[in-house]
């Protein structure tokens, strides 16, 4: 592969990759920060706007072909770091979606293909670092300012979106609220004589998986007549893997992310509805079935 012939193809490929990656994350920064938290790194959530700006800046720089050696080295370091984190999440936390393209689910890949893609791209970046022509400061300085400007705009927009995203502590359903006036009304049967549990989770969330047996015990122990499980859109293979692993005693229902974010930002969350009223809001750690039974008994006693 010779530099003059393949250089435009390589730089365009890398530019499109980083632009799609950055834009996908920017389109739903709340989802991106949730992905970071699912890796067990919630303290890194504030870095989300920085990473988005960096990816978009790299994408524009590759498309404009400026400082290619430096951009190749920077992108190689960035992708190597992302791949290492994904390997950690996959091996230790059961994460199978790298979240590389954020809201652009159409370009998401299975885990093994994600690793193969990243390794191939890292090989391309290494080749580019070795073969890229020397930079001429006089000719690329103006184009580099364009890339910096794109990164700055991306940081400003994503930073604002991050600041106004749904708070991690926000729950849009309150204890004591009537079901028919709550955000749960479209998803829970309108009965006044039964106890239901609404389980809001993601099949790709390792902590949600940890809490699944506990939530399932609310149904098998007889506390809840039904469990209504709501999750955001996800790859069908992820959902099937979750069902095969846990064989949950409830039906999984896909709900638009905006609708779920209005109820809660972080998952998992379990909401107990008794006699048409929100009795308990539980999460992210769920009490055992016996502990929940005591909580509900206390609620009943206090009402009486």
Q: pLDDT tens digits for 244-277? A: 999 999 989 999 888 888 888 778 899 999 988 8
Asked whether residue 127 falls in the same domain as residue 247, the answer is no
Asked whether residue 225 falls in the same domain as residue 266, the answer is yes
Residue 56 lies in a domain: yes
Residue 169 lies in a domain: no
Q: Report pTM.
A: 0.61
pLDDT tens sequence across 136-153: 666 678 888 999 999 999
Q: What is the pLDDT of residue 176?
A: 87
Tell me how many domains the chain contains.
2
Q: What is the pLDDT of residue 127?
A: 92
Asked whether residue 136 falls in the same domain as residue 34, the answer is yes
Residue 221 lies in a domain: yes
Residue 273 lies in a domain: yes
Asked whether residue 139 falls in the same domain as residue 16, the answer is yes
Domain range for 127 is: 3-163
Asked whether residue 159 falls in the same domain as residue 28, the answer is yes
Q: How far apart are CA 92 and CA 5, in angstroms?
A: 43
CA of residue 35 relative to chain centroid, distance: 3
Sheet bearing 195-200, strands edge to edge: 251-254, 226-231, 195-200, 269-274, 277-282
Please compute the mean of the pLDDT values over residues 200-210 and round it to a whole number: 84
Q: How far apart are CA 301 and CA 291, in angstroms?
A: 15
Q: How far apart are CA 151 and CA 117, in angstroms?
A: 25
Domain final position from 163, 187, 209: 163
- The answer to whether the beta carbons of residues 135 and 68 sit under 8 Å apart is yes
Q: What is the pLDDT of residue 55?
A: 95
Each as own residue / partner, the long-range contacts of residues 38-42 (CB below 8 Å, 24 or more positions apart, any chain) are 38/89, 38/93, 38/95, 38/202, 38/204, 38/205, 38/206, 38/207, 39/85, 39/88, 39/89, 39/93, 39/95, 40/89, 40/93, 42/168
Please report, in angstroms and rounded to a whole number, the separation of the first and last CA atoms in the chain.
Answer: 80
Q: Is the pLDDT of residue 2 over 50?
A: no
At 95, is the secondary structure helix, strand, or coil? coil
Asked whether residue 45 falls in the same domain as residue 153, the answer is yes
Residue 193 lies in a domain: yes
Asked whether residue 43 falls in the same domain as residue 157, the answer is yes
Asked whether residue 154 falls in the same domain as residue 185, the answer is no
Residue 168 lies in a domain: no
Q: Is the pLDDT of residue 61 over 90?
A: yes
Please compute the mean of the pLDDT values over residues 191-208 and round it to a whole number: 84
- The answer to whether the beta carbons of residues 154 and 56 sit under 8 Å apart is yes
Asked whether residue 109 falls in the same domain as residue 194, the answer is no
Residue 174 lies in a domain: no
- The answer to whether the beta carbons of residues 165 and 29 sit under 8 Å apart is yes
Tell me the CATH number at 279: 3.40.30.10
Q: What is the pLDDT of residue 139?
A: 67
Domain final position from 98, 129, 163: 163
Asked whether residue 286 falls in the same domain as residue 159, the answer is no
Domain final position from 129, 163, 197: 163
Residue 172 lies in a domain: no
- Report the run of H or E that residue 165 belongs to, with start and end: none
Residue 21 φ/ψ, nearest 5 degrees: -65, -45
- The answer to whether the beta carbons of residues 268 and 275 sit under 8 Å apart is no
Confidence class of residue 199 from pLDDT cuts 50, 70 and 90? Answer: very high
When the pLDDT of each residue in the chain is averaged and rounded to a whole number, the result is: 84
Q: Is the pLDDT of residue 1 over 50?
A: no
Nearby residues of 59 by Cβ (< 8 Å), 6 or more positions away: 14, 15, 16, 17, 18, 19, 20, 21, 22, 150
Residue 248 φ/ψ, nearest 5 degrees: -65, 145
Asked whether residue 94 falls in the same domain as residue 201, the answer is no
Asked whether residue 76 falls in the same domain as residue 135, the answer is yes
Q: Is the pLDDT of residue 115 over 80?
A: yes
Please compute the mean of the pLDDT values over residues 182-206 and round it to a whole number: 84
DSSP state of 147: H
pLDDT tens sequence across 5-58: 788 899 999 999 999 999 988 887 877 876 777 676 777 888 999 999 999 999
pLDDT tens sequence across 77-95: 999 999 998 888 778 766 6
């Amino acid at each position: 592969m010779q530099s003059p012939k393949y250089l435009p193809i390589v730089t365009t490929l890398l530019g499109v990759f980083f632009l799609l990656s950055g834009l996908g994350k920017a389109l739903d920064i709340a989802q991106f920060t949730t992905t970071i938290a699912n890796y067990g790194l919630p303290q890194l959530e504030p870095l989300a706007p920085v990473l988005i700006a960096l990816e978009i800046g790299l994408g524009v720089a590759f498309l404009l072909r400026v400082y290619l050696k430096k951009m190749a080295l920077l992108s190689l370091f960035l992708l190597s770091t992302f791949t290492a984190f994904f390997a950690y999440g996959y091996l230790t936390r059961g994460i199978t979606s790298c979240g590389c393209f954020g809201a652009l689910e159409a370009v998401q890949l299975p885990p093994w293909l994600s690793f193969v893609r990243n390794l191939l791209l890292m090989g391309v970046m290494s080749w580019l670092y070795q073969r890229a022509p020397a930079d001429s400061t006089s000719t690329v300085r103006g184009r580099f300012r364009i890339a910096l400007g794109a990164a700055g705009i991306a940081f400003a927009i994503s930073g604002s979106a991050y600041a106004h995203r749904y708070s991690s502590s926000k729950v849009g359903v309150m204890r004591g609220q009537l079901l028919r006036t709550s955000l749960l009304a479209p998803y829970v049967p309108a009965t006044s004589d039964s106890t239901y549990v609404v389980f809001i989770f993601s099949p790709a969330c390792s902590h949600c998986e940890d809490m699944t047996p506990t939530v399932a015990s609310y149904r098998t122990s007889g506390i809840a007549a039904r469990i209504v499980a709501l999750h955001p859109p996800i790859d069908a293979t992820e959902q099937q893997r979750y069902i095969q692993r846990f064989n949950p005693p409830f039906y999984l229902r896909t709900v638009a992310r905006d609708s779920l974010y209005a109820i809660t930002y972080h998952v998992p969350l379990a909401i107990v509805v008794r006699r048409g009223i929100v009795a308990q809001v539980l999460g992210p750690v769920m009490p055992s079935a016996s502990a929940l039974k005591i909580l509900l008994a206390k609620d009943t006693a206090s009402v009486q």
